[in-house]
Structures are given as C-alpha cells and as structure tokens.
Amino acid sequence: MLKTLIDAGRQSCAAARARISNVRWCDQGISFDLDGVPHTGVMRGSNADLLLGYGSEIDASVALRVLLAGDATPVAHPATLACPVQPGEEEET
C-alpha cells in the first residue's frame, strides 16, 4: 500500500514538473511558467539553499518545490517582472 502511494506521488510530481518551463532567477527569488502562465516564487526555508542552472530538469524541480511549499503565485502583470539576464543568455541591445 505504501509503495503504491509513493509511486503515485512520484508520478504526480513528474507530471507537474513537466508542465514547468522558463525557470530563472528573479528579484528575490525565481520566476517560471506553469502551463504558460508566469509565476514568481520566494526561496525560503530549505528552498533558500537550492541553486538553478544545473539543467532544465533540476530547475523545474526547484520551481516545483517552491510551488508545493506555497511560496509561488501567478504574476498579474508579466511585463513588470524584472528578471536579470541569465548565465549563457545574451542581453538584447
């Protein structure tokens, strides 16, 4: 029974992680898209020690942890979101 519950949780997390994209550092936390909807999240508690930039799967896992902790919310006005240029990206001139 316990194995079944753990497997279901693992599958659920994998499905949720697949819906997350465009994870990046932003202001005092991170920003990411969930089903194409921009979200911002605050990195607090045990999530404050996590880093981005080690691969899209890991970045999506960090965003999912922030979301599950209740520290992420949809962005009402995405144009006002101030996210720095990420390592490896070029700034537009």
Residue 50 in domain: yes
Residue 93 in domain: no
- Distance, in Å, from the CA atom of 50 to the CA atom of 16, rounded to the nearest integer, reads 19
Global pTM? 0.76
Residue 49 in domain: yes
Range of the domain at 63: 2-75
Question: 20-69, pLDDT tens digit by residue?
Answer: 999 998 877 899 999 999 999 999 999 988 888 888 999 999 999 999 99
Residue 20 in domain: yes
Residue 42 in domain: yes
Number of domains in the chain: 1
Beta partners for residue 29, in sequence order:
26, 42
Residue 89 in domain: no
Q: What is the CA radius of gyration of the chain?
A: 14
